[in-house]
Amino acid sequence: MWAMIATWRMALEGITAGGEMLEQGAAAGEALEKAICDIEDFPYYKSVGYGGLPNEEMEVELDAAYMDGDTFDIGAVAAIKDFANPIKVAKRLSAESVNCMLVSEGAEKFAHKEGFERKNMLTDRAKIHYRKRVKETAQELRPYIGHDTVGVVALDQHGKMVVGTSTSGLFMKKKGRVGDSPISGSGFYADSTVGGASATGLGEDLMKGCISYEIVRLMKEGHHPQAACEIAVSNLDAELKKRRGKAGDLSVVAMNNKGEYGVATNIEGFSFAVCREGETPAVYLVKNVD
Ligand code: SD4
């Protein structure tokens, strides 16, 4: 059995390409890298890779992470600029036993030394969005939240599971702001003996519940991925509302090592893409658990 699940509609073509690789017997990590690179390279996705919207200083700073569910190797980059495929850098970093999470210039220095492709990730289209936003908000530049991260969980024919994320974070975020996407347990987590999970939404709130780890923990306790996702989202949503009066956007996808999957969200309009052995890749809209 092989399978892939990913956050948002934008992931469909990427995971379809990754799924074809898994069908041919590719390793989960290779298929996931292909899926996420395709999304990073597509200039019209405003929240991932090339064409991603900039921070308040009009710079595109990207976060990405990769985790190997067999070895627990983790690699992550945060606030990296001017490299075409942050997921490749994160995956490469996962081979390092120390220094496996690098930020900003440190991440760029590493990527350069390793020969990754340099690229100006700020497109004219993204600049137009930025200028429009500056005009709209006049004096106050607040981060824009309705904004999507790609998170992919993959299972290969050998039973290996991996997870990866890639994002430009929140539009108009502060320079140096890091979301949940490169943070282990928050934006992603994978354990091949159980399953994997990934999150999208307001990083500052997703981190407060270490939501991806929580979903994998619930699956390990015996919950189906669907139940694990629903419990994790509704618990965190309720805790945040109880303690802070409000909860940000929380959306998750998960898959266990049998290829069964689950999704949950506290917003309207969260979509996900799934592609599994013997099935046509498809996109679905998720009902709010709130
Ligand atoms: C972040 N979680 O940087 C990301 C953004 C996102 O839907 O996923 N938005 O906080």
Six-digit token string for 88 = 């490749």
How far is the C-alpha of 151 from the C-alpha of 235, rounded, in Å? 21
Q: Does residue 164 have a pLDDT over 60?
A: yes
Instruction: Say whether pLDDT at 22 is over 80.
Output: yes
C-alpha 46/C-alpha 52 separation (Å) is 4
CB of 198 closer than 6 angstroms to any ligand 1 atom: no
The verdict on whether 149 is a catalytic residue reads yes
**What is the percent of the chain with per-residue pLDDT over 70, rounded to a whole number?**
96
Average pLDDT over residues 249-263: 97
Mean pLDDT along residues 257-279 = 96
Backbone angles phi, psi at 82, to 5 degrees: 65, 30
Does the pLDDT at position 137 exceed 80? no
Distance of CA 253 to the CA centre of its chain: 10
Stretch 165-184: mean pLDDT, rounded? 95
Q: What percent of the chain has pLDDT over 90?
A: 89
What confidence score (pLDDT) does residue 13 get? 97
Separation of 204 CA from ligand 1 center, angstroms?
9
pLDDT of residue 27: 98
pLDDT bucket at 289, cuts 50 / 70 / 90: confident
Residue 136 has a pLDDT of 76
- Coil, strand, or helix at residue 211? helix
Mean pLDDT of 150-159: 98
Q: pLDDT-derived band of residue 206, with 50, 70 and 90 as boundaries?
A: very high
Query: Taking 60 as the threshold, does the pLDDT of residue 145 lie above it?
Result: no
The pLDDT assigned to 35 comes to 98
What value does the mean pLDDT take over residues 130-145?
A: 69
- Rounded to an integer, the average pLDDT of 75-94 is 98
The predicted structure's pLDDT at residue 144: 60
Q: Span 116-144, mean pLDDT?
A: 81
Q: Which residues pair with 78 in a beta bridge?
A: 103
Across the range 171-187, mean pLDDT stands at 96
- Residue 196's pLDDT is 98
Among 123, 149, 165, 265, the one annotated catalytic:
149
Q: Give the confidence band of 134 by pLDDT, cuts at 50, 70, 90.
A: confident
* Alpha carbon separation from 28 to 162, 163, 168, 205, 217 (Å, rounded): 6, 9, 24, 29, 21
Stretch 96-106: mean pLDDT: 98
- Residue 219: predicted pLDDT: 98
Residues in binding site for substrate: 177-180, 200-203
Of 148 and 138, which is predicted with more confidence?
A: 148
Q: Could you give the CA distance from residue 79 to residue 41 in angstroms, rounded to a whole number?
A: 18
The pLDDT of residue 132 is 86
Could you tell me the pLDDT band of residue 199, with boundaries at 50, 70 and 90? very high
Q: What is the predicted pLDDT for the residue at 34? A: 98
pLDDT for residue 140 is more than 60: no
- 248-275: average pLDDT: 96
ipTM of model over 0.90: yes
Ligand 1 and 181: CB distance under 6 A:
yes
Residue to substitute in 48, 63, 77, 170 for testing ligand 1 pocket (most ligand atoms within 8 angstroms of CB): 170
Q: Could you identify the residue written with the tokens 């509704």?
A: 234
